[in-house]
Amino acid sequence: MHNIIFHSACRNRRISQKRASEQKHTDSFQGKVPVPAVKSCKNAAVAAGRAFQPKKPVFPSKKRFPRALFQQAIKTGRRFSSPNLTAIVPSKEIISSGGCGYSVVVPKKVARLSIKRHQIRRRVLAALRMSEAILPPALIIFPRSSISSVSYHDTEDELTNLISKISH
């Protein structure tokens, strides 16, 4: 049995298909527009008449730094710093053993709320994607707490400068 939601001025109420058919036509649709109940984003997009396109990850899983080599890369890698970012480039031994990829680590010390941490992570990963042509084979980035007050364009410029410092 499908549910139908009737939008009225004061509230939404669910009416089963059976109850909707029992009501008079003038009573049920007077000033109300029936909207089918939607259970997912995909169904909402199809109901709205547009194609559903799921979000693509910033980097595919092949370009993500493996967790197994993470601690070793932090201990033996070279560090580069800028005012709002710290980057670690893993050693050549780690890269040769399959440690290629990129990672952004935003701890709770940088931003307490997970929404803010994810926003910072998405901004840094988007800036990495923009400068993908000049990236080293492996890179781990740690944003500092001051990055939350910096705009995206400033973050992108700072990351580009940091990567150029790494490649020299």
**pLDDT per position as a tens digit, 61-115:** 778 888 888 888 889 999 999 999 999 999 888 888 888 888 999 999 999 999 9
Edge-first strand listing for the sheet containing 85-89: 78-81, 85-89, 138-143, 101-104
Q: Is 90 exposed, middle or buried (0-12, 13-18, 19+ CB in 10 A)?
A: buried
Is residue 15's pLDDT more than 70? no
Residue 45 confidence (pLDDT): 53
Q: What is the C-alpha separation between 74 and 79, in angstroms, rounded?
A: 9
Unique residue bearing structure tokens 């990351």: 159
Domains along the sequence of the chain with CATH: 3-47 (no CATH), 61-167 (3.30.230.10)
**What are the start-end ranges of the E strands in 75-132?**
78-81, 85-89, 101-104
Helix (H) or strand (E) holding 17: helix 17-22
Residue 10 confidence (pLDDT): 45
116 to 123, 138, 143: CA distances (angstroms): 11, 25, 12
Q: What is the pLDDT of residues 106-142, one digit of tens each?
A: 999 999 999 999 999 999 998 888 887 788 888 999 9
Residues 6+ apart with CB under 8 A from 168: none
